[in-house]
Structure 1
Amino acid sequence: MFRESFYHFLMTLRQPNQPTEIEQFANNAFLDSSFPKQSQDFDEISHYLEENAEYLPGMTIFDDAWQLYLEKMN
């Protein structure tokens, strides 16, 4: 079964006008050229964000986006 990467899913959430926190995360991830774009691994992406994503004000935003990702993939 094919599962799209988290990044690909996140790009479907981009919103230029009055974005929610998750939509703003997607907007910022789009501009992050180092984001692990092919990953489907929670730990890999979480570690990357903790180390590199100053644009993410809190990891709960990632956790919420990851939950949406899991719901879509199942």
Structure 2
Amino acid sequence: MRQSFYLFTLKFRGGKKEDEKVKFASSMFNHHDFPKAETSFDKISLYIEELADPNMPATVFDEIWEYYIEDSK
């Protein structure tokens, strides 16, 4: 079974503070209602769009998603 996007993204936490992926992961971690078990692009993307957190921009989500898909192959 594929690891959730949330668990995959947590590996970016603790990196260089200026890295956008680190900011995204840290902000995601602090949103307790983030869909932690989700593996669906559409459901996570909708959550991020509706949340509109400046530390979780869609462009960074798309970048991390590409890593996530590559890692799943």
TM-score by length of 1: 0.88
In the alignment, is the contact (CA less than 8 A) between 1:16 and 1:27 conserved in 2? Answer: no
Aligned pair 1:49/2:45, yes or no? no
Give the secondary structure class of the aligned counterpart of 2:12: coil
**Alignment RMSD:** 1.5
State how many pairs are aligned. Answer: 73
The separation in 1 between residues aligned to 2:11 and 2:63, in whole angstroms, is 15
Structure 1 runs (4+) greater than 4 angstroms displaced:
none
Q: Report which stretch shifted further, 39-48 or 57-66.
A: 57-66
Shift of the 36–53 alpha-carbon distance from structure 1 to 2, 3 Å rule, reads farther
Where does the alignment leave 5 or more consecutive residues of structure 1 unmatched?
none
Q: Percent identity?
A: 37
Deviation at 1:52? 1.3
Contact kept in structure 2, 1:7 and 1:36, CA below 8 Å: yes
Letter in 2 for 1:22: K
- State the 1:13 CA deviation: 1.2
Hey, what's the Cα distance between the residues in 1 that align with 2:66 and 2:21?
Answer: 11
Unaligned runs of 5+ in 2: none
TM-score (norm. length: structure 2): 0.89
SS, match of residue 63 in structure 1: helix
